[in-house]
Amino acid sequence: MAETPAGATPAAAVPVQTAPVARATLAQAVSAPGRTAALRQQKIRAPFAGTLLEMTVADGDLVRRGQVVATIVSRDSEAALAGAREMEREAKTPGEKQDAERAVALAERNLVRAPIRASADGAVLSHAAAAGDRVAEDQELLTIAERSSIVFIADVVQTDLPMIRPGQSVSVELAGRPRPLSGAVHDVLPAANASDFTAPVRIDLPRLGGTAGIGLFGTARITVAEHPNVPVVPEAAVLRDDVTGISRIALVRNGIARWTPVSTGLRGGAGIEIVSPPLSAGDLVIVSGHVGLPDGARVTARS
């Protein structure tokens, strides 16, 4: 600091606002829109030709493995029952009526009625038949999305893709859910979209639970970098020279302002990371009143 010439009046201290350097953990995140999807879909098919007596689920319903979702009666046994009932209607003599009643009873006893069960826990995506429909053997009845295979597919812009790595933690906000879901990046999928320069990124959701739907839209926030316990200062403390590109902060040492060039890192709610020079927690930086302040000026903190 330059000495004040003899007889000269010391310059008045400039009132400024200061803040202490703190230490915090800062993270950098990439945000991308997307939607939930099922990697595995189970097709429920008719075990034999017949008539679908009932369908107990609708599209969007959650089902459990082994749950009865439909009932079917075989075509042959149904035809036998129909024939016996027709014989009963046409019977005229007491003997014919007794024979017809026995035939109906036998046909009803031999009627092949089979329950159709869900093959996995999940949600009904679609149905291809309804109660009363005649179906062929192996005809598709329902499609069930396996709950354990539901993931989030995020559309990440091309410029952010180099920062994406398997295993990175993700927070997924889904429409209609009050809290974000935790997930992890599985990998970038090989299906880039040439129209908007994005690529799909699969995000696994191990704690999704059974209440999430298929095709729900949302936003994924992928943590691509995290710097723990680094020195941070308020954003207002850092001034950047647009001509030279140099960023500076004004440190307060014994009531004197000292401008110091800095290299900055991540930004977050706690402030801006100062990569260099080394700063200690508690060092004072000026956050207001430092624009145009000369180096070496006397300052006084104000509330």
Regarding whether 204 and 260 lie in a shared domain, the answer is no
Q: Are residues 220 and 240 in the same domain?
A: no
Query: Taking the complete model, does pTM exceed 0.75, yes or no?
Result: no
Q: Which residues contact 259 (CB under 8 A, 6 or more apart)?
A: 248, 249, 250, 295
104 & 185 share domain: no
**Number of folded domains in the chain?**
3
Whether residue 91 is contained in a domain is answered as yes
Q: 18: domain CATH number?
A: 2.40.420.20
Regarding whether 244 and 99 lie in a shared domain, the answer is no
Q: How far is CA 152 from CA 199, 206, 207, in A?
A: 13, 11, 12
pLDDT the model gives residue 34: 94
122 with 51, same domain: the answer is yes
Give domain status of residue 199, yes or no.
yes
Q: Are 258 and 296 in contact (CB under 8 A)?
A: yes
CA dist 210 and 213 (Å) reads: 8
Does any domain span residue 2?
no
Does 235 lie in the same domain as 213?
no
In-domain check, residue 9: no
246 and 198 share one domain: no
Start-to-end Cα distance in the chain: 26
* Side chain identity at residue 196, one-letter code: D
What is the mean pLDDT for each group of 10 consecutive residues in the chain (303 residues)? Answer: 53 89 93 91 88 86 90 76 68 72 67 84 87 89 87 94 94 87 93 87 77 78 93 94 91 93 92 94 92 91 71
> Does 219 lie in the same domain as 183?
yes
d(CA 100, CA 107) in angstroms, rounded, equals 10
121 and 173 belong to one structural domain? no
C-alpha span between 223 and 295 (Å, rounded): 39
Q: Which residues pair with 34 in a beta bridge?
A: 154, 218
Question: For position 1, what pLDDT does the model report?
Answer: 44
In a domain, 116, yes or no: yes
**Residue at 4 is within a domain:** no
- Here the CATH number for the domain that contains residue 188 is 2.40.30.170
Please tell me whether residues 34 and 169 are part of one structural domain: yes
Phi, then psi, of 85 in degrees rounded to 5: -70, -35
Q: Which of 227, 254, 281 is the C-terminal boundary of a domain?
A: 227
Taking Cα atoms as reference points, which of 156, 154, 131, 155 lies closest to residue 142? Answer: 131
Cis omega (within 30 of 0) on the bond before 33? no
Domain boundary among 193, 227, 261: 227
Residue 267 lies in a domain: yes
**Domain assignment of residue 3, yes or no:** no
* Amino acid 20: pLDDT: 94
User: Radius of gyration of the chain from Cα atoms?
Assistant: 37
Last residue in a domain, options 103, 138, 173: 138
Among residues 163, 171, 167, which one has the least CA distance to residue 186?
A: 167
Same domain, 154 and 277: no
The reply to whether 156 and 34 lie within a common domain is yes
Q: What's the domain range around 130?
A: 47-138
